[in-house]
Amino acid sequence: MNLISLDQSEYKRLHAKAYALEKRRLQIELLKLQEDVIKNNRKLCIVFEGRDTAGKSSAIKFFSEYLRPNNFNYVQLGIPSKWESSHWFQRWGKVIPQNGEISFLDRSWYTRAITEPIMGYCSENQYRTFMSRVNKWEEDHILNNVEITKFYFSLSRDQQERRMNARKNSQLKYWKLSKNDEKIITKWDAFTFYKEQMFSRTATELSPWVMINSNNKMIGRLTALRYLLNKMDYENKKILKPVKWSKAISNYSASIEGVHFDNLTYEQFMIITKYSDDTE
C-alpha cells in the first residue's frame, strides 16, 4: 500500500497575513503549472475524496480561484442513471481531462468504494467488480498520459459533528445538509472500514493516495496545494520554503455566518474555527 499522509508539519501555526501570503505564492505557482499544461497538452486529473464537511469543495475553490477558466473543469456528478450505475467506468471516463486541461473532481469513481456500498446504492457484485478493476483502469489512463493525483481529506469525528451542526443551524448553508448526509454520518465505523479497504487495495505505487489532515481547512488546503506543486514538473517552477508563523501574534481572523472577527489570539482563532463550516 502506498499511502502518503500529510499532517501539516510545515504549517503548525496559522498567522492570518502569512496565510494570505502563502496562498498567493502557491496560487501563482499553480497558474504556472496550468500554463505548462496548456502549452504541452498535458492532462491533469485531481481527485478530492473524503467524508462530508472535510473541505473538498472549498479546497477546489482555493485551487482554481485564479486559473484560466477555459482550461480547467470542476466535476461533480449527480446521482447516476441506471445505465451509468451498471457502466461505472464509462461514466467516469467521460470526465477525464483532454489535452491542455486540468479536471478537479469533487468526489470521483471512488464513490463506489465507500459511499455506495455503505448506503446500498450498489450491489455487492458491483462493489467487488469495481475494486478488482479500478487499478488497471487508472493504470491505462496514466499510460495514456493522464496525470492522476488522489487526495483524501480526513477529519476527526468530533470535528465533523461540529461542522454538521454549523450547517444545520446556518441560515445560509442549511441546504448543504441533506437527508443522505444525516444518514451517512451515523455510519462512521462502516465508512472507516470501507475507507481502509480502499486504501489497502487502491493506494498503488503508480497511483498513491495522499491523505490530508483537514481538521483545519485552511492549513489542509495549503498542504494539499504544496504537495501537488512539489510533485509536478513545470516551466519556471519556484517552490519557496513555507512561511513561518508565530503563535504569539494576535492578528488572526475568522468568519462565521458572514460575521468577521479580527485581531484574534491564536487560542480564540482555534475556538472559533471549530464552529465554522467553511473558514477561509
Which residue from 74, 52, 62 is spatially nearest to 166, judged by alpha carbons?
52
What does the pLDDT read at residue 280? 42
Q: Is the pLDDT of residue 55 over 50?
A: yes
Q: Measured between alpha carbons, how far is 44 from 34 in angstroms, rounded to an integer?
A: 9
How far apart CA 106 and CA 74 sit, in angstroms, is 7
Please write the tens of the pLDDT for every residue from 78-102.
Answer: 899 999 999 999 999 999 999 999 9
Helix, strand, coil percent values for the chain (each to nearest 5)? 50, 15, 35
Average pLDDT over every residue of 236-261: 62
For residues 120-143, average pLDDT: 97
> Measured between alpha carbons, how far is 129 from 137 in angstroms, rounded to an integer?
12
**Residue 189 C-alpha from the chain's centroid:** 21
Query: How many whole angstroms separate alpha carbon 130 and alpha carbon 259?
Result: 45
* Residues 3-45: tens digit of each pLDDT: 787 766 555 566 677 788 889 999 999 999 999 999 999 999 9
For position 265, what pLDDT does the model report? Answer: 65
pTM to 2 decimals?
Answer: 0.82
Asked whether residue 253 carries a pLDDT value surpassing 90, the answer given is no
Q: Mind listing the pLDDT tens digit for each residue in 204-214?
A: 999 999 999 98
How do residues 173-202 score in pLDDT, each as one tens digit?
Answer: 766 666 666 667 778 999 999 999 999 999
Task: Spell out the domains of the chain, with CATH numbers in brackets.
Answer: 3-243 (3.40.50.300)
Highest average pLDDT, of 34-48, 146-160, 218-232, comes from 34-48
